[in-house]
C-alpha cells in the first residue's frame, strides 16, 4: 500500500487525499471498534513532521500511515502524504479521557497507543513508531529520515 504510487502514473497526493473531513460525531473507526471507542472516549490529535538533515529541511510527499493493533488485528486509520512543510496533521484519534485517569476503577486502562509508519522511495522506511495519544492534547511526532545510499548489502 505504501508503494502504490510507485507503480502508478498518479502522484501520492492523488492516491492519498489530504481531506479528512468527517461529519460531526463520525469517526474513522469501523463498527468493530465500538467497544474500543467506549473504553477510550477522549479525543487527541496527532501531527507528524517529517524532515531530513536532522530537522533542517522539511520533506514533502512522504507517505504516513497511522494504524493500531486491536484484538490482534491491525487497522490502518489514516493514510496521507506530507505537505510542502513536511507535515501531516489534524488526525483525531481516541484516547483515554482525562476523567478516567482520576478514577481508580478506570485508571487501569492502558494509554491509547498507535503505530506510525513512514515511507518515501529515496529514504529508509520507518516502521511502527509508537506514539501515545492523550485526551484534549495535540501530540507532535518529529521524524528525521535517513537517505538511502544506493549501495546493495550482500552480506
Mean pLDDT of 49-78: 88
91-131 pLDDT per residue, tens = 999 898 888 777 777 667 788 999 999 999 999 999 999 99
Q: What is the CATH number of domain 4-18+32-144?
A: 2.60.40.10
Q: Is a pLDDT exceeding 90 seen at residue 33?
A: no
Grid cell of 78 as nine digits: 489514516
Entry pTM: 0.73
> In sequence order, what are the beta bridge partners of 96?
none
Say whether pLDDT at 11 is over 50.
yes
C-alpha cell at 51: 524532515
The DSSP secondary structure of 90-133, one letter per residue, reads EEEEEE--HHHHHSTTTTTSPPEEEEEEEE-TTB--EEEEEEEE
Cα gap 63→51, rounded to integer Å: 13
Res 74: pLDDT: 83
pLDDT of residue 39: 80
Amino acid at each position: 500500500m505504501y508503494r502504490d504510487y510507485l507503480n502508478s502514473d498518479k502522484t501520492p497526493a492523488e492516491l492519498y487525499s489530504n481531506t479528512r473531513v468527517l461529519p460531526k460525531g463520525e469517526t474513522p473507526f469501523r463498527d468493530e471498534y465500538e467497544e474500543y471507542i467506549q473504553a477510550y472516549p477522549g479525543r487527541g490529535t496527532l501531527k507528524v513532521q517529517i524532515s531530513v538533515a536532522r530537522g533542517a529541511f522539511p520533506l514533502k510527499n512522504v507517505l504516513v500511515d497511522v494504524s493500531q493493533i486491536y484484538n490482534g488485528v491491525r487497522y490502518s486509520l489514516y493514510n496521507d502524504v506530507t505537505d510542502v512543510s513536511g507535515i501531516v496533521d489534524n488526525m483525531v484519534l481516541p484516547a483515554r479521557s482525562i476523567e478516567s485517569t482520576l478514577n481508580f476503577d478506570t485508571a487501569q486502562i492502558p494509554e491509547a497507543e498507535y503505530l506510525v509508519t513512514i515511507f518515501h522511495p529515496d529514504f529508509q522506511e520507518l516502521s511502527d513508531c509508537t506514539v501515545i495519544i492523550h485526551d484534549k492534547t495535540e501530540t507532535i511526532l518529529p521524524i528525521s529520515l535517513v537517505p538511502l545510499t544506493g549501495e546493495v548489502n550482500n552480506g
